[in-house]
Amino acid sequence: MRFDPDEIGTQNTYKLLVATVMPRPIAWVVTKDAEGRVNTAPYSFFNVMGPSPPTVAIGVMADPEKGFKDTSRNILDTGEFVVNLVPERLVKAMNVTSIDAPRGIDELELAGLFTVASDRVRPPRIAESPVSFECVSLSSVVTGPSQVVVIGRVLAIHVADDCVLDAERAHVDTPRLDLVARSYGSDYVRSRDTFSLVRPKWSEWDGRDSDEISKGS
C-alpha cells in the first residue's frame, strides 16, 4: 500500500511513522528557562547521531494553537538541555511529566522525582535516571511551520555506578539499565528480549545463496 503524505495529511502521516518506526528511544529532557524554572518532558523522536563529537537529535513539534512546549522553547532559547533515559521503574513518572501543565509548573515535582546538579550545563539531571547526557545545542533545523529538529552535542555522560562493568573500557551493563522505548499509540516496549548477529566481513564471505540467508538458514 502506497501513502502520499501530501495527500493523507499530517495526522495520518504521524500514525504511519510511529506505527512503523519502533521501538523509539525516549529522550526525557530537562531544561531551564531564563528565570531558572525547570521543565521536563519526554520526546520519542530522538536518537544518537554519531560519536565524534557525540551528537543527539530530537524532533520537537508545536501545537498549532499553543505553540511549542516549555521544554522545547527552553532548548531553542537557551541552547542547553539534559537528556535522561527511562528505565521501566520510572515509566509512570515519565508519563506524568508529559502532562499539558501551565507554563512554569515543575513536572518533576508533580512526578515526585529529584534532580542532581549537572556539571557542564545549567539544567539538572534526573537523579533516578540510570543514564543522562548533558547537552548544548549545535543547531536547530526548521523542517516545518510547527516542527524543529534540535541537534545537540553531548558534553558529559552519566551512567549509574551499578551499571558500569569496566569504567576504563567504557563497558556498560546494558540489560541492567532496563530501558524502555516507545511503540505505537500509548504502548511501550522493554529492552530485555534481544538476539545477536555477527556482522559479515567481505574477506570471509562464503558466497551463500541470498535465498538461504533470507530464509534464516
Per run of 10 residues, the mean pLDDT along the chain (length 217 residues) is 96 95 96 92 96 97 81 92 98 94 88 97 98 97 91 98 98 97 94 90 75 61
Q: What per-residue confidence (pLDDT) applies to 165?
A: 98
Q: What per-residue confidence (pLDDT) applies to 105?
A: 86
The answer to whether residues 44 and 15 touch, using CB atoms and an 8 Å cutoff, is no
Q: What per-residue confidence (pLDDT) applies to 153?
A: 98
Residues 106, 96: Cα–Cα separation, whole Å: 11
Q: What per-residue confidence (pLDDT) applies to 208?
A: 64
Q: What per-residue confidence (pLDDT) applies to 205?
A: 84
Residues 193, 98: Cα–Cα separation, whole Å: 27
Residues 216, 117: Cα–Cα separation, whole Å: 49
Tell me the whole-structure pTM to 2 decimals: 0.91
Q: What per-residue confidence (pLDDT) applies to 67?
A: 80
Q: What per-residue confidence (pLDDT) applies to 212?
A: 59
